[in-house]
Amino acid sequence: MIFNESILRERIEAGEFRGRLLDDFGYRLEPYLFTSIINPHNHAEQNYNEAHIATRNVVERCFGVWKQRFQYLLHGMHMKLGNVKSTVVAVLHNIAIVHKDTNVVEDNCEPSTEELPEQPSNMDSNHRRGRNAAILQAFIARHFDE
């Protein structure tokens, strides 16, 4: 995957940035990269999953705005741009904001109500083991336990 080979990952692992990244299940749980809890066992884990989904919805809505503003994301440019495409779109979007361009069509930018994907049962036990799972559990206890 692209992130695993990136300089950004190296910089995050070196402690250059504070905070957490969120992913669904595309990447392995890391101290800096949190995934959803596949089968939440308590209210705190359910609260965490709800916050995780809500936060990811913000990103998905942003992608929707980009797709409306830059239609080639929906229909393609008939050339290979690889992972550069999203970066270029983000830069163009930010330039449009700086220049107060409010010409944005907001159709189909509704938040996703999609549920967590089904995962193999062995992923739940793997997800709960080890140092990374302990870091995630401490985060959940600190921020989502009532």
The β-bridge partners of 56 are: none
Number of domain units in the chain: 1
Whether residue 103 is contained in a domain is answered as yes
Token look-up 């559990």 returns 137
Helix (H) or strand (E) holding 87: helix 84-98
* Nearest of 17, 18, 28 to residue 133 by alpha carbon: 28
Residue 98 lies in a domain: yes
17, 124 contact by CB (below 8 A): no
* Residue 1 included in any domain: no
Domain that holds residue 57: 19-112+128-144
pLDDT, tens digit (0-9, with 9 covering 90-100), for 52-107: 999 988 888 988 888 888 776 677 655 555 656 777 888 888 888 888 887 776 65
User: Do the domain assignments include residue 85?
Assistant: yes
Residue 122: inside a domain, yes or no? no
What 3-state DSSP class applies to 145? Answer: coil
119 lies in some domain: no
How far apart are alpha carbons 131 and 127 in whole angstroms? 10
- Say what the alpha-carbon torsion angle 80, 83, 85, 89 is, to the nearest 10 degrees: 180
Whether 37 is covered by a domain: the verdict is yes
Report residue 17 as tokens. 């940035």
- Regarding pTM above 0.75, the answer is no
pLDDT tens column, 4-51: 889 999 999 999 998 899 887 778 889 999 999 989 999 999 999 999
Q: Which helix (H) or strand (E) holds 131?
A: helix 130-144
